[in-house]
Amino acid sequence: MTVIPLGVPRRLLEFTLDGEPVRAPEGSTILDACRAAGKDVPTLCEGDTLTPKNACRVCVVEVEGARTLVPACSRKAEPGMEVRTDTERARHSRKVVLELLASSVDLSTTPKVAEWIKEYEAKPDRFGPDAARLNEEPRVDNELYVRDYDKCILCYKCVDACGEQWQNTFAISVAGRGFDARIAVEHDAPLTDSACVYCGNCIEVCPTGALSFKSEFDMRAAGTWDEASQTETTTVCAYCGVGCNLTLHVQDNEIVKVTSPHDNPVTHGNLCIKGRFGYQHVQNRD
């Protein structure tokens, strides 16, 4: 049985969303209200288990009276606010943000981004063949996971998950500045020389596949990764008594990666090294 905490009842506030009056519980963001109203606003750096960082700016919407566009993921709804999600101005910024990202970062494993590029008619190659790219090589320095920073959009989710929001390990940070900023451990060392405890909670929140299981990385490289043929089975981790839920992703009768349901009240999607990576004994058939 899943216990759903009811919490303190919240007052509803009224505002206008694309000309329609909507009511949202006090404290909810514009994005919450959009989703409740069935509107699709693209998001990349927003994560269901994290405080919004509003760094990617792909969810911007227009608020009457505001000088600039506002990020729907973090701006709280206010009574009487007039929000428009689909104006030419908002669509323009989303389009350019998608172009800027796609022209500098490898988004091939970012879910949904191809659809958005089509929807917003973004043309990432318009910046020409010489447009600067990240040009990072995948960092394979341990047996558990790979950091492929060529796919990193610098959403800060891994930093937040590793730091104060979940894991409290603080093994990674953003280093450098501007276009040269990269996610790095101390002294930009290999992961094995860092404070990393291999919980893999950064992989769980990474929206682009820049952080991935070594198993997934190797299978993608070999061309054998086939998400469509994978099954997902959620079970309880057997290592200790906490009772974390594990979702085992299985392809050809082999576990290829492990995630955890984000709505699970025990884990909120977080695991430790054993639950996340310690599955080999299950498939040890000798």
Instruction: Tell me which residues touch other proteins (CB under 8 A).
Output: 54-58, 60, 68-69, 71, 74, 89, 92-93, 95-97, 100-101, 103-104, 126-128, 130-132, 153-154, 156, 163, 168-181, 184-189, 193-195, 197
Structure tokens at 251: 């392809």
The residue written with tokens 């290592």 in the block is 239
- Cα separation, 275 vs 260, whole angstroms: 9
- Cα separation, 189 vs 108, whole angstroms: 27
**Minimum distance between the CB of residue 266 and other proteins, rounded to whole angstroms?**
21
Q: Name which of 248 and 273 has its Cβ closer to other proteins.
A: 273
**Minimum distance between the CB of residue 98 and other proteins, rounded to whole angstroms?**
9
**Minimum distance between the CB of residue 242 and other proteins, rounded to whole angstroms?**
19
**Minimum distance between the CB of residue 27 and other proteins, rounded to whole angstroms?**
13
- The single-letter code of the amino acid at 163 is G
Beta bridge partners, 182, equal: 175
Backbone angles phi, psi at 107, to 5 degrees: -100, 20
Q: Name which of 200 and 219 has its Cβ closer to other proteins.
A: 200
Q: Name which of 166 and 225 has its Cβ closer to other proteins.
A: 166
Q: Name which of 245 and 270 has its Cβ closer to other proteins.
A: 270
- Cα separation, 161 vs 216, whole angstroms: 21
Q: Name which of 59 and 219 has its Cβ closer to other proteins.
A: 59
Q: How many angstroms separate the most distant Cα atoms in the chain?
A: 68
